[in-house]
Structure 1
Amino acid sequence: MAKALLTPALIILLILVACSDPAPTAVVEPTAAPQPQATTPTAEPTTTPTPRPTETPTAVPSPRPAETPTAAPSQDQPSAGGLTPLVLDDPEAVAAELSDQELACLAGVADVARLLTIFNDPGMATVEEQTKLIQCLQDETLTRMFLTGLIQDMGALSIETSACVRTGFGEIDLRSVMLAGLQGDPQTAMAGSMAALFLTMACLNQEEWNAAAPAMDMEPDDREGMQCLLAEMGGPEGMTAALGAEDESGFMALLAAAAGCGLDMGGPPSQVPVVPTATPPANDTVPSEVEAAARKFLASELEADEGDLRLDSSEGVQWSDASLGCPQEGMMYAQVITPGYKLVFELAGSVHSVHTNSDGSHMVVCGDGQ
């Protein structure tokens, strides 16, 4: 299943299209406007007192167009039609569907030289730049982007399903969820993205469910169980609150509700990935505490002595999602770029790779140095 990632590369492509396409038309229109300015003075009532000159300036203020680009798109009116996926591998098609306000905002994030730098190396985008990019997009665009990986193979969602998703996402606040991962709040990012995914699945009609379920490792008759689960968790808002708990109580409640609704969530709470912050590691040097935690974790998994593990290599990595580069079948992962580390250990001739997040609080073992 393709991932609906809000990556800098995607957005930069949109900005580059915006800079080369809509910008020229924005410049052409002002050149047509000066003609009324030239005719206004010819009205010869220069003899008349100053009232008329004062009226002329107030009739010609052009600051209003300038305000539109800088104003971030706030609460836009949601469409009443069916939600459709964004063709993420076709930036021009995506840009064609963005509003003028979104394009103008995106074009103001950075100059072309900086955009090209980020385009060539998405990891170069700062947290501030990524934050601005997310803030430029309207709620409907963020919703479609989030759903693309799930619905791209089924086309538009029905009007009823789309209304259900839009209403539920209003309780989740998808923009805040995306920004949370950038602002050092991984728990909120993880809880919100999982709640959004569960909500979407619960909103699908049977035909849509049948198309989406295989990618989620679910059966056609699991649809009612998913609807039951969402209701048991108190809707999107209740699920977000439960999964946002700092301990594992929220996941325990989720697993209990899933079992009661006849769903198998695929493992204990410790297997449910937590989205780390989007602050990249300072450099490729793995912190000593992360290395120690990875060594201890691997020794436990292999039932070996820590002293027998030899570190062959280590590096900083930007994982494409919260699976840390080692997705497990039947598991659901938040689609958030996740910085972390890859450490490769050798034990008795065998190579084992440990993938971690940026602070080592979440890690997985990928066999044979994967």
Structure 2
Amino acid sequence: MFVLQLGLIGLCVALLPLSYVWVKADDNKFRKLVWLTTFLTLDLIMFGGFTRLTDSGLGCPDWPGCYGTSSPFIAHAAITAAHQAMPSGPVSMVKAWIEMLHRYFAMAIGVLIIAQVVIAWTARWKRRPLHVSPWWPTGILLLICVQGAFGAWTVTMKLQPVIVTLHLLLGLALLGALGWLAARQTPIPVHEPAAARWLPAAVFGLALLVVQIALGGWVSTNYAVLACTDFPLCNGQWVPPMNFEHGFHLWRALGMTGDGEVISQDALVAIHWTHRTFAVVVVLYMLWLALKLRRFESLRTPANGVLLLIVIQFLTGLSNIVLQWPLPIAVAHNGGAAILILLLVMLNFRLSSSRPGRALLPARDVVSA
């Protein structure tokens, strides 16, 4: 019964953006829906970072509900008892609400993607041009189902770092897939075939960024942000004592080594130092790539966005160390990484579409205003 209640809550949350798309005066409601879903997915990723950074991931230690109910209101007695038994533990009423709001939001995103699937297949059956295969939103729906499974394992496996990191990466993959679909629905302002030769460089840049975000997720999920408390040195040294074997042993419990012992400070330093060092490579490459790509009119806006976000990421990352990991800056750092993924996806799409014979037609509406 409570699963049905959860579904209804997710549907009710999704009705607001769906209503906005329906009443908005736009010639292409499918495009509007895709862009809105992309924006809300970015918000969901940032809220997921907020959930993790406030230690609310186990605010409701079961899944998909909260102590077998659909709301912390109903589970009030169980939450209060757990908090009284362990006041410094992971369960409190505030943390339970943060966790459940994250789940409600995720379910609403699922409803919006289901709506995309229905529209796309309806357009195929009625032979209305949508300029995108219905298998694309269907694949995105499958991806969010996998993402939901990892969300469940995040809770049931007690925030195991590799599961939480994969949950983050799948969320970014979902954002990238939605961004690609949104770009597919938006005509490119100028077709510049000369830009296509930069596609391999942009693909490589996206790969570098994904690796760096994975390293950042590993830092966050292992709570290694403050393993180095100074900059540019790490604990007063360029190369401090580190334990890479324990730091990068993937299958282990939070705060433990693969052998079941408490993880050492040297292992946490290895995690932090690797992320920090690889960031230098990524920043330099991204700056070079963005400066090259901004010479093309069709790429100038996303390339400028990359330049801006690289600076912001550097400043927020440095502030996390110097200011001892303040919550707003930590959330902003997570959000900046997600926006960078979206910008790199847009750049790769436009470069791919710049190749001869790949000019895109404006997408036409499938749902009348």
TM-score of the superposed pair, with normalisation by structure 2: 0.31
Structure with greater strand percent: 1
Larger C-alpha radius of gyration, 1 or 2? 1
TM-score of the superposed pair, with normalisation by structure 1: 0.31
Structure with greater helix percent: 2
